[in-house]
Amino acid sequence: MTFKKSRETTGETIFDVVNILIMILLLLSVAYPIWYILVYSFDDAIDASKAAFMLFPRKFTLYNYNIVFKDKAIFHAFAITVLRTVVGTVSSVFFTAMVSYGLSKKYLIGRKIYMGIGIVTLVFSAGMIPSYFVIKSLHLLNSFWVYIIPGLFSFYNALIFISFFKGLPDSIEESAQIDGANEFTIFLRIIIPLSMPVIATIALFNGVGQYNDYFTYVLYITDNESLRTMQNYLYQIIQANTALAMMKNVPAEMMAQNKTSAESLKYASMVVTCVPIVIVYPFLQKYFIKGVLIGSVKG
Amino acid sequence: MEVSHMKNVNLIPQKNSFLRKVYKQRYLLIMVIPGVIFMLVFNLYPVYFAQIGFKEYNVTMGTNLSLAHWVGLSYIKEFLNSPDFSNVMINTIGISFFKLLVGFPIPIIFALLLNEIKQSKFKKFIQTVTYLPHFLSWIIVAGIMLIWLADSGLLTKALYHMHIVDDTSNMLANANYFWAISVISELWKEFGWNSIIYLAAIAGIDMELFEAARIDGAGKFRQIWNITLPSIAPTVVLMLILSISGLFGSNFDQIFVLRNAVNAPASNVIDIYVYQQSFMYNRFDYATAVGLFRSLVSAILLVGANAFARRSTGNSIF
């Protein structure tokens, strides 16, 4: 006997209406600040500074972006960000997956020791200063590689990979081993293609982490402005010094007409910084969601 | 006469079975050892430098720690007795506590409400929009906040007109508002994302339970109270443990960009304190000792919370 859905009671209808109203309120409170930066950046500077509340740019202009893109430093920062995101993510995912594959084999010599070390790293960390000295003694200070090498292995991600690899059927590997393949070849040719969902998810989290990170530069790079990332450059812009510097690119007549302002430039720079993530994000939503769930299921 | 055993005499170790095992899995070991080396370098090696917390160190010594002489626990004692201690502890624990108090239940409630939305396209739209702030860096969010909470900023004026604040001056230059600003902005950024795990847990509940309850005349709230909440309780407890174990840390990324000299009395959490003492006052030795104190407390919290969970609910992280 199947249950038939009975007609909704009045109480339930009220609940649904109130619920929808709450959701709309939440949507507005989340979306409006983001929308506002967008609108402000496309609006004429004087107009924007006068307006209290804006839904659409009242005097649409691309001038703010014009000035932002005249800035050479921003392209350089963008290049560094893209480079570290791509190199860092690919290397970290591959390295962590490779190590994890080995750790997932019960017959690995010393396995319990390695896993034990890993668990300890999750619980206890020596701190910011000791890590700083390690980086210093490895000569990674003021080097591009400080974005890459310390991020190569994550035991947290390793646990996720290990749990996944353990779930793969042994038969595939066994038949490959009979054919004479060693574990590394099996890993490259068979395991990686089979693990694409997990790899994609971990790669996405890694990528976002690389893209949004700003503290690595603050802590480890003091002498090399060419290694600035978009986030660090944006940080400087927001603190006004660099916004004023950007305004040097504005020709005198335009300055006189107040065609742009430090404020508008800040907003335009913010948009430029978060556009890649915002554009890519909706398409990858299901991977992000899956990632949260995978992380919560430990093998 | 048997001669086959004479064929591969020196290449493959015969007698020592351990070496033979190693040889058999040499590729696997080659794949794993770099990871172990990594952990030893980036997790164990720092412990060597932790001794700076117990020695008198200055920058001219570089990485040559043998030049520094031993002072034992004097820095830890100095920290515990300093006037900074209570300020730092109150800020660290206070901010974390309120983030827990406010930020923990709201994603759960949001998940419960979102689950009741029947229009699936609308539901997906809500998810897409509310998960987005999680992917923005704190630089961007702080950027918005610096402008909106400034002197006569959009939010400042709005809050003034709602009589929530007394004047329209820069809200981030006021130590009294910092905790609230920190808690609410983090809530705004993460409530959607943090609800994902609860949404998934709710989705796993058997629909027949709800139908049966409906037939018995249970209203929406009764259903949520008697079916949904008990079913997601294991997930809630696990997330609560994780949150409590992080109580002594803080969202460094957020506080670093929002703090300034004026709101410092309220924004001086332990991680910021360590950073300042080392990179602004050059007291690397003292800062390391404080950092070790912090790591120790965090580790105890994590292990303790985990053991408590395992004992009381059977669920735990390790």
- Which residue in the set B34, B110, B139 is minimally distant from A214, CB to CB? B139
CB atoms A33 and B144 under 8 Å: yes
Predicted pLDDT of residue A209:
94
The closest of B59, B156, B118, B23 to A222, measured between CA atoms, is B59
Mean pLDDT of the region A139-154: 96
Q: Which residues of A touch B45 (CB under 8 A)?
A: 134
For residue A134 the two structure tokens come to: 């390690």
Please name the amino acid found at residue A185: T
Q: Confidence band (pLDDT; 50, 70, 90) for B66?
A: confident
Alpha carbon distances (Å) from B46 to A63, A129, B275, B280: 50, 8, 16, 21
Q: Which residues of A touch B168 (CB under 8 A)?
A: none
Alpha carbon distances (Å) from B267 to B147, B181, B185, B290, B292: 19, 11, 14, 17, 20
**Gap between the Cα atoms of A265 and A262, Å rounded:** 5
- Residue bearing tokens 């969970």: B309
Predicted pLDDT of residue B318:
64
- Which residue in the set A138, A158, A263 is minimally distant from B147, CB to CB? A263
Q: Which residues of B touch A219 (CB under 8 A)?
A: 279
Q: Is the pLDDT of residue B125 over 90?
A: yes
Name the 3-class secondary structure at A60.
strand
Q: Which residues of A touch B299 (CB under 8 A)?
A: 123-124
CA A266 to chain centre: 21
- DSSP calls for A228-276: --HHHHHHHHHTSHHHHHHGGGS-HHHHHTT---HHHHHHHHHHHHHHH
Q: Which residues of B touch A108 (CB under 8 A)?
A: 25, 28-29, 32
Q: Which residue has the higher pLDDT, A295 or B253?
A: B253
CB atoms B291 and A293 under 8 Å: no
CB atoms B31 and A289 under 8 Å: no
For residue A112 the two structure tokens come to: 């319990």
Q: Is the pLDDT of residue A5 over 60?
A: no
Radius of gyration over every alpha carbon of chain B, rounded to an integer in angstroms: 27
Output the CA torsion B280→B281→B285→B290 (10° steps): -70
Mean pLDDT for chain B overall: 89
Q: Does B160 touch chain A (CB under 8 A)?
A: no
Q: Which of B:49-108 have CB within 8 Å of A?
A: 49-50, 52-53, 63
CB atoms B257 and A96 under 8 Å: no
Q: Confidence band (pLDDT; 50, 70, 90) for A79?
A: very high
Nearest chain A Cα distance for residue B154, angstroms: 7
Q: What percent of chain B has pLDDT above 90?
A: 62
Angle at B143 between CA B137 and CA B149, to 5 degrees: 130
Mean pLDDT of the region A219-243: 87
**Gap between the Cα atoms of B54 and A179, Å rounded:** 58
Q: What percent of chain A has pLDDT above 90?
A: 55
Query: A70, A249 in Cβ contact below 8 A?
Result: yes
CA B225 to chain centre: 29
Predicted pLDDT of residue B165:
85
Which residues neighbour B242 within 8 Å (Cβ) at sequence distance 6 or greater? B305, B317
**Gap between the Cα atoms of B234 and B53, Å rounded:** 40
**Gap between the Cα atoms of A174 and A103, Å rounded:** 17
Mean pLDDT of the region B312-316: 67
ipTM of this predicted structure:
0.88
Q: Which of B:25-44 have CB within 8 Å of A?
A: 25, 27-32, 34-36, 38-44
